[in-house]
Amino acid sequence: MRQANHKIPDEQRDRRITRLPEAAINRIAAGEVIERPASAVKELVENALDAGAGQIDIALAEGGTALIRVADDGCGIPRAELPLALERHATSKTDGADLLDIRSFGFRGEALPSIASVSRFAIASRAEAEAETAQDGAWRLAVEAGRMGEPAPCAMGQGTVVEARDLFFATPARLKFLKSTRSESQAVIDAVKRLAMAEPSVGFTLRDGERMAFQALRGEGRLDRLDRVMGRGFAADALAIEAEREDLRLTGFASLPTHHRRTAQTQHLFVNSRPVRDRLLLGAVRGAYADLMPRDRHPVLALYLEIDPQRVDVNVHPAKTEVRFREAGVVRGLVVSALKHALAEAGHRAAASNSLGALGRFQPAAAISAPGAGAAPQSWRGSYQAPRPPTPQMAEAAQRYQAPLVDGWSARAAPIEEEADLAPFDAPSPSDPPPLGVARAQLHDTYIIAQTRDGVVLVDQHAAHERLVYEKFKAALRENGAPSQTVLTPEIVELGRAAAERLLGMAEDLGRLGLLIEPFGGGAVCVRGAPAALGVVDLEKLVADLSEDLEELGEAADLTARLDAVCSSMACHGSIRAGRRLKPEEMNALLREMEATPHSGQCNHGRPTYVALGLGDLEKLFGRS
Ligand code: ADP
Ligand code: MG
């Protein structure tokens, strides 16, 4: 008995434990399984795949909130079982004896009753066996206001059609959490694409209102299917992955290190055909590409793991997108070694790892004081001297040494000459050089070496310049905006509807940054002007990257965060590339600008823009002290 030592509200007093009505139970369960139209579509398509469908046709209205219809040509449901299909925990996919031996997408028997409880619902089906027996035929069962009717005869070929109208009409609270029609549509498209990759031999159509949002041919091969979904020439850049260990089998396709994107959203993983998001597997991918790809870029891939169902638990989450492996280490190892093997075969050896290790040796103190004692330090990060925040004195010093810059923007605007003067820099060392020193040489057209008062500075020209341009864009946003340069022939960039709308929604702010875009209809935008500071850039790639960055940020991000992402993305495009030969004045101008710019010690992706070594460090390195 509870002690009533505080006031209990009257309405609580005569509460008794009672069983919830079935409709309420279903609605509560629905909350876990059906969060938004995309989750309903996912469940229905999975049912169609479980039923052995060869063709699945999906239709949406209003992003799925007004109508979701999924039609398949699978095995169908006999009349006698139709009401059972809508009952909770009724399933044809397991007898419940061994929940670890699941070979289908479904097994909880929750999807149909959940969807039926939050929509105006109907299911029509014609079962395989009955297709031949004339007397039975097709039957339709509707649910109105949580109440199941009687199956009524209807006309259709073999298969099943499920219709859910007015999703969440009975649960307005859930309705409130839905995003715009456009983002709900997009989530459905993404979910369907994932399943289309999982089962490449099945044909799909997805109509979103009037428009065909996705279509994939029945019986196409896996690589064709992946190419269709990933786009941007994935197939041409894809390496085949194939590996086996014990009774694990990994297949699929992964992009060459040169084919990458800004987000990890195009990394798709399937465990026994089930699309999953698994941190372990994503981490393994990162590990395999670590030395081959910039840290802020991500390979594109689809990996299919076949594993004895007993060794993986899919019963972790109602939406079944999480899995738990019995031997996680073995799985991870297989993924890493299969990817590394394929990458090495492709001739892109992970040679960079050695030099990164070597850079670690530049570290003074412990690592250097015991030469030869063990391997190179594991991590090279942290081996650079922490960049000093610019002080007023630094800025002042910078001013004194500042080379004239064209329109105040950057060294980038200086004329580029193919054969830059490479004569040794013969300017005398000033007795009191500025903090980042005087440029002495450029190495591999990528790094600037500068002599400082008491050491050397090694600058990554691309990373450094990227930061400078980024800070300039941010300043332009605070002030009058950045100058724009009209492009001679406006460039039309095809992005897809959602991406185009996302960008066009920001057109005004992009305009302040100098990027002038207009709608071009369909999923395309027309680029009329580009930020002058970027010089000659690949507009298509710039715009595509911008939209990917914004997508990654998600709907929830505020304007400041979005603009930040835009600035960062544009800066990367507008920066002095690694591999561009710089003249001494350009190098010095860059150094001076770094001194005068806040945060210039790291690029926008957090990598250092320069490393500094003191004379003391050099002496230690050569055993002079
Ligand atoms: P689960 O998929 O977990 O079994 P569902 O509620 O999604 O649960 O479906 C219940 C049952 O209805 C399934 O087990 C299956 O027998 C039947 N069913 C559902 N959709 C289809 C379909 N498209 N084709 C054939 N049978 C279906
Ligand atoms: Mg199901």
Predicted confidence (pLDDT) per residue in 440-484, tens digit: 999 988 899 999 888 888 888 888 888 888 888 888 888 878 888
From the CA of 43, how far away is ligand 2's center (Å)? Answer: 5
Mean pLDDT throughout 416-422? 38
If one residue of 45, 112, 143, 161 were mutated to test the ligand 1 pocket, choosing by the most ligand atoms within 8 A of its CB, it would be 112
Residue with tokens 């073999």: 158
- Residue 205 CA to residue 63 CA, distance in Å, equals 15
Please name which ligand lies nearest the alpha carbon of 45.
1
Q: Whose CA is nearest to atom 13 of ligand 1?
A: 91
Residue 320 Cα to ligand 2 middle (Å): 11
Identify the residue with better confidence: 272 or 423: 272
C-alpha 221 – ligand 2 centre gap (Å): 26
Short-list 512, 448, 510, CA closest to 478: 512
Over 70: is that where the pLDDT of 397 sits? no
Residue 414: C-alpha distances to residues 24, 101, 446, 586 (Å): 70, 67, 17, 7
CA of 127 to the centre of ligand 2 (A): 17
- Exposure string (b/e) for 227-239, b if CB count within 10 Å is 16 or more? bbbbeeebeebbb
Q: What is the pLDDT of residues 41-90, one digit of tens each?
A: 999 999 999 999 999 999 999 999 999 999 999 999 999 999 999 988 88
Residue 312 has pLDDT above 90, yes or no: no
At 357 the pLDDT is 35
Give the residue, out of 41, 43, 47, with the most ligand 1 atoms within 8 A of its beta carbon, to mutate for a pocket test.
47
Which atom of ligand 1 lies nearest, measured to the CA of 159? 24
Share of the chain above pLDDT 70, in %: 78
How far does the centroid of ligand 2 lie from the alpha carbon of residue 38, in Å? 14
Distance CA 60, CA 67 (A): 5
Beta partners for residue 248, in sequence order: 245
Which helix or strand (DSSP H or E) is residue 212 part of?
Answer: strand 211-216
Which pLDDT tens digit goes with each residue over 175-211?
888 889 999 999 999 999 999 999 999 999 999 999 9
